[in-house]
Amino acid sequence: MASESRLLIAEGRVIAPFEGGAWVDFTPLAGCQGCAASQGCGTGLWARWRGARPRRLAIESPRPLAAGERVAVALPARRLVQGALSLYGLPLGAGLGLGAWGEWRFGADSPVVILTLLAGLALGAGLSRLVAGHHGARYRPRLHEPPPA
């Protein structure tokens, strides 16, 4: 399988270049074919809720970019999954783990169980921020320029 198929690619327009990259506006997708057929999916619902305004993102680029230039930006699919697991999985896992420990230690009817669950969520959120601080660069999209044919 080609490495090209493992990339998530989006097109946008450069708004403000800076040294080593640029701010890029992306027009969000309205949804998939299921949304158009009113069968519903999360992407279409999210797009309708947030509106059709562009999303701005800072990207890194090995070459200078000009304002107004159309660019393709890529993120490896694996990095997206790893980032989502870090962002959502660490707080959820820590919350459930400490909540289960609190239930085992203090009994299911104790109000302390709620406090241990909340403490676990806070701990997991802190761990998630640490991971993002140390490994955040690997989860950032970059300019995508396919090799010449």
Please, which residues have CB within 8 angstroms of residue 133's CB and are 6 or more apart in sequence? none
Whether the full predicted model's pTM is greater than 0.85, yes or no, is: no
**Considering the chain, what percentage of its residues have pLDDT values greater than 90?**
39
Cβ proximity of 132 and 86 under 8 Å: yes
Question: Model confidence over 28-84: pLDDT tens digits?
Answer: 655 555 555 455 566 666 666 666 667 888 888 888 899 999 999 888 888 888 888
Work out the pLDDT band at 105, boundaries 50, 70, 90.
Answer: very high
Work out the pLDDT band at 130, boundaries 50, 70, 90.
Answer: very high
List of E strands, the chain: 7-18, 21-26, 55-60, 70-76, 142-143
Paired sense of beta strands 142-143 and 21-26, if any: unpaired
pLDDT at 132 over 70: yes
**Which among 30, 118, 130 is positioned nearest to 87, based on CA atoms?**
130
Res 61: pLDDT: 85
Res 5: pLDDT: 56
- C-alpha span between 46 and 29 (Å, rounded): 10
Measured from the Cβ of residue 42, the count of other Cβ atoms closer than 10 Å reads 10
